[in-house]
Amino acid sequence: MSRRKNTRPNGQQAKLIELLNRRLADAIDLQLQSRQAYWNVKGPHFMALRELFDKVAQGVEKYANLIAEHVVQLGGMAEGTAHAVARRSSLDEYVLATADGKGHIDALATKLTAFGKHVRYASDQASELKDADTADLFTDIARS
């Protein structure tokens, strides 16, 4: 954490930064899992599915950027390295053997549902910490 001027008590600030970094890890993990599907999908509807998986990856990248920027605004360090993501992500590992379109759709649907659940919970946690800005960020992500 930096020594940036902040109106939040240090304990609250640290909890918010930890919460944000956990969801940042989820977002980066989801983005990479979307790319895994994009790179490896085979079979019928190949092109349509690649376009869908690409849109998911791009959308999630925007969320990751918003979360990371908010961490820095709070005076923290956005932890988006591969090691940090592997350590912090709450998403289940992507099954690398998945190859057909239906398998990738099912896998990503499950991951998107889990991501949404964690983001909604993070919004509630930020509200409990009395940080409306962070709660709003998570609410906006959950709605999109």
CA distance 71 to 57: 21
Mean pLDDT rounded to a whole number for the chain: 94
- Give pLDDT, residue 73: 97
- CA dihedral sign of residues 89, 132, 4, 141: positive
Question: Which domain range does residue 21 map to?
Answer: 10-143
Please indicate, yes or no, if residue 1 is contained in any of the structural domains. Answer: no
Counting the structural domains of the chain, the total is 1
For the chain, give me the number of helices (H) and strands (E)? 5, 0
pLDDT of residue 116: 98
Query: How far apart are alpha carbons 114 and 112 in whole angstroms?
Result: 5
Residue 78 lies in a domain: yes
- Considering the domain boundaries, does residue 21 fall inside one? yes
Q: Is the pTM of the predicted complex or chain greater than 0.85?
A: yes
Assigned domain for 3 exists: no
What is the distance between the alpha carbons of residues 128 and 17, in angstroms, rounded to a whole number?
14
Point out which residues pair with 100 in neighbouring strands.
42
Whether 15 is covered by a domain: the verdict is yes
